[in-house]
Chains A and B, each alone.
Chain A
Amino acid sequence: MPQDQLHQIARRTERYWFEDGIWEIGFGLIFALLALFYWITSLSDWTGPRSFILLILQMGVFIGALFIMGRVVKTLKERITYPRTGYVAYRRPEPRTRLRKALVAGLVAALIGAFVSVISSLQVMENRLPLITGAILAVALAIIGYRFNLLRMYLLALLCIVLGYGLSLANLAEPLITPVFFGSYGLLIFLSGLITLLIYITRTRPAGEEEYPDYEAPSAEDRDA
């Protein structure tokens, strides 16, 4: 078997995580939670020293949303995916790598918060925020699409740019722009996941208890054959 075929088999196994669309459903929920957070915080004044508290709160909400997403994804996979096409446990990174990833996630959350704050304060750039952030999101989705050979990620990336452009043209002002921005992207990604999940459910069916295929050690005769 050629090396590239082996590589494709390994890549296909890695891609299995995205096959059911549940990851996108979870990601969409994160954006929805962030939209809710920004809408709630928009009802108060967070200027001055309180803006630092807002930044900390945002990091906490982002990390909390990641945790909730993890739980939702795990539950949906156990109920829907594993009984249909099987269970895969991916290799966990080393503890040092996990810590590094957690720190990077926290840093990214802080940078996003700072970026949103800075852009929002620049009235000239305010209208461009959805387009710029949509482009960044599109790049991230395209990278996932390339890494795991997922065509729908490229389509989603394109839709993010279109949505970003549309939101920029809508010329919304604070306090609406940030919640609408996160809510729109969240809905887009959530719908992508939902459609993928419905297609997956249509194409597969769970093995019932009686017919569930399981390993049976071959008899001595079969082993020697």
Chain B
Amino acid sequence: MSEELRKFTDVDRVIHEPARLMIVTILYAVEKVDFLYLLHETGLTKGNLSAHLSKLENAEYVEIEKTFRGKIPQTLISLTPAGRTAFETYRKQLETIVTRLSEETK
């Protein structure tokens, strides 16, 4: 396997999945959001979104806090420091790979 292709396999698989990447990107820009906001922004189904959040929580990249807004249950989601670092690392890796590939194809 070439060096560049090997780098693709080194990226964080938890974040690399498109739906989770979208979730983490949204969370990176803010302090916290609620489940309803993520549902609207990602366009995922409730079950699908819950599954992805669970994976991110298991990786300790997000913190999920269940609270109430009046009588309505509200789940607040935020990125942990580890999640922020992981996302920043992922972005740098992606940038390096894309830059290298662009140079090689010139």
Give me the interface of A with B, judged by CB distance under 8 Å: 1-3, 6, 9-10, 12-14, 16, 82-83, 85-92, 207, 209, 212-218, 222-223
Contact check, B40 vs A13: say whether CB atoms are below 8 A apart: no
Nearest first, the 5 closest Cβ-Cβ pairs linking A and B are A86-B37, A86-B36, A215-B75, A10-B29, A87-B34
Residues on the A chain within 8 Å of B26, using CB: 9-10, 13
The contact of B31 among A10, A12, A91, A207, by CB within 8 Å, is A91
Residues on the B chain within 8 Å of A213, using CB: 35-36, 39, 46
Nearest CB on B from A223, distance (A): 6
Nearest CB on B from A18, distance (A): 14
The contact of A3 among B28, B32, B33, B98, by CB within 8 Å, is B98
Contact check, A216 vs B94: say whether CB atoms are below 8 A apart: no
Known contacts: A9-B25, A87-B37, A213-B39. The answer to whether A218 contacts B54 by CB under 8 A is yes
Contact check, B35 vs A13: say whether CB atoms are below 8 A apart: no
Contact check, B29 vs A86: say whether CB atoms are below 8 A apart: no
The contact of B29 among A14, A82, A215, by CB within 8 Å, is A14
A14 to B73, CA, bound (A): 25
A113 to B34, CA, bound (A): 41
A86 to B76, CA, bound (A): 10
Residues on the A chain within 8 Å of B18, using CB: 1
Known contacts: A92-B31, A213-B35. The answer to whether A218 contacts B50 by CB under 8 A is yes
Residues on the B chain within 8 Å of A10, using CB: 25-26, 28-29
Nearest CB on A from B25, distance (A): 5
Residues on the A chain within 8 Å of B51, using CB: 218, 222-223
Is B14 an interface residue when CB atoms closer than 8 A count as contact? no
Q: Mark B41-84, 1 if CB is under 8 A from A, else 0.
A: 10000110111011100100000101001011111110000000
20 residue pairs bridging A and B, Cβ less than 8 Å apart: A1-B18, A2-B98, A3-B91, A3-B94, A3-B95, A10-B29, A13-B33, A13-B41, A86-B33, A86-B34, A209-B72, A212-B36, A212-B73, A213-B39, A215-B49, A216-B46, A216-B47, A217-B54, A223-B51, A223-B54
A14, closest chain B residue (CB): B29
Is B38 an interface residue when CB atoms closer than 8 A count as contact? yes
Is B86 an interface residue when CB atoms closer than 8 A count as contact? no
Nearest CB on A from B16, distance (A): 9
Residues on the A chain within 8 Å of B39, using CB: 86, 213
A217, closest chain B residue (CB): B54
Is B1 an interface residue when CB atoms closer than 8 A count as contact? no
A2, closest chain B residue (CB): B98
Is B30 an interface residue when CB atoms closer than 8 A count as contact? yes
Nearest CB on B from A160, distance (A): 29
Nearest CB on B from A47, distance (A): 48
The contact of A89 among B25, B32, B36, B40, by CB within 8 Å, is B32
